[in-house]
Amino acid sequence: MITKIKANKILPLALFFVCIIFIISPKTYSTSCLTAVSVWAINVLPTLLPFFIITRLIVGLITPKPNIADKLFNKLYNTPAITATIYVLSIISGYPMGAKLICDVHEKGYINKKDAERMFAFCSVSGPMFIVGTVGVSIMSSYKVGLIILIANIIASLINGLIYRGKKTILDDKNIILEQKDNNLLQNSVYDALISILMVGAYIVLSFLLIDLLKNLGVLNFLSSCICHIFKNFNNSTVEACLAGIIEITRGCLDLSSCNVSMIIKTIIASGLIGFGGISVMLQSVSFLSKLKIKVSKILLQKFTQGILCVVFTVPIALIFL
């Protein structure tokens, strides 16, 4: 109770302090905001919006009857019918589509909360358009780097799902509660997609503002210096890029690309950051999964292990092909 009262007093003061900083340096943070909007408009909006609409339509039209792929996923991950479809759509679309799709099929009665928790462990993945197109080609100037990160992330997600598999779910569609036919499916899908993509953009803007605020206050530099002091071989700028990537992966990868380290190191770090997803993606996922009331600590743990697995699988692949 005392901790809650302290938090209620400290947080408003901290936010007020942030507002004062924004007022003192409006140009700095308006530029940061414009950069975030630019990243969202160029890298996120064109790739995610069509997928948000199309996948929402698919979920509204399909019937979750078990197929060969679903039976395979049922044996591997103890998940119900429709899981294989959701995984494929998540891989194609990327963050935060996995969480969004899990929420959609849960609302239609196709899966329960436990199923959602298990599915999130391997359906929360980044897509090929972001990994290969944005990170590989645009940021790292290497298609090969993007391909390596993509392969490592897919393998890591599948292994991560095995770590969090629970009790077996019987593939039985008799108990599925089907919604009434949606006569305005296209209209509702477009509206839902627009709200979702705007929410993603808002989290990206907040993340960029937070990163620049921490940089300008010297917090990121202080933390990176402390880490470099403990680990003597670490590069200060690289550690700072990692810290930025923990908050927002696109910004972290952008900062990482200008660091004076080998491409192999950049690839391994970028893969780990993408596997983890960053706080921005995590907040997006939490907002989509809010109705399921999944513990944030569980989501954080699943993403942490996924990031570690991405690093583990990227190392041998990068050493061989780079």
Q: Report the pLDDT value the prediction gives residue 183, as an integer from 0 to 100.
A: 67
| Per-position pLDDT tens, the chain of length 322 | 455 555 567 878 888 888 898 888 888 889 999 999 998 888 788 877 888 888 878 877 776 666 788 888 888 898 887 889 899 989 988 898 899 899 988 888 888 889 999 999 999 999 888 899 889 998 999 999 999 999 999 999 999 999 998 776 555 544 444 455 566 888 888 888 898 889 888 998 999 999 999 999 999 999 999 999 888 888 899 999 999 999 999 999 999 999 999 999 999 999 999 999 999 999 889 988 988 888 999 999 999 999 999 999 999 999 999 8
Flag whether 218 is in a domain: no
Flag whether 209 is in a domain: no
Q: Report the pLDDT value the prediction gives residue 48, as an integer from 0 to 100.
A: 78
Among 157, 156, 155, 136, which Cα is nearest to 147's? Answer: 136
Q: What is the H or E stretch that residue 63 is in? A: none
Q: Report the pLDDT value the prediction gives residue 66, as an integer from 0 to 100.
A: 67
**What residues contact residue 4 under an 8 Å CB cut-off, 6+ apart?**
none
Flag whether 69 is in a domain: yes
DSSP class per residue in 233-256: T--HHHHHHHHHHHH-HHHHHHHH
Tokens of 236: 């200060």
Range of the domain at 154: 27-166+184-201+280-321
Flag whether 162 is in a domain: yes
Dist. CA 146–CA 144, nearest whole Å: 5
Report yes or no: 84 and 67 within 8 Å, Cβ to Cβ.
Answer: yes
Flag whether 242 is in a domain: no
Flag whether 77 is in a domain: yes
Q: Report the pLDDT value the prediction gives residue 10, as an integer from 0 to 100.
A: 80
Q: Report the pLDDT value the prediction gives residue 144, as an integer from 0 to 100.
A: 96
The residue length of the chain stands at: 322
What pTM, to 2 d.p., does this model score?
A: 0.88
Flag whether 10 is in a domain: no
| Tally of structural domains, the chain | 1
Q: Report the pLDDT value the prediction gives residue 193, as an integer from 0 to 100.
A: 85
Flag whether 238 is in a domain: no
Tokens of 150: 């993509």
Tokens of 294: 């999944």
For the chain, give the longest Cα–Cα distance.
63
3-state secondary structure 206-228: HHHHHHHHHHHCCHHHHHHHHHH
Q: How far is CA 78 from the centre of its chain?
A: 23
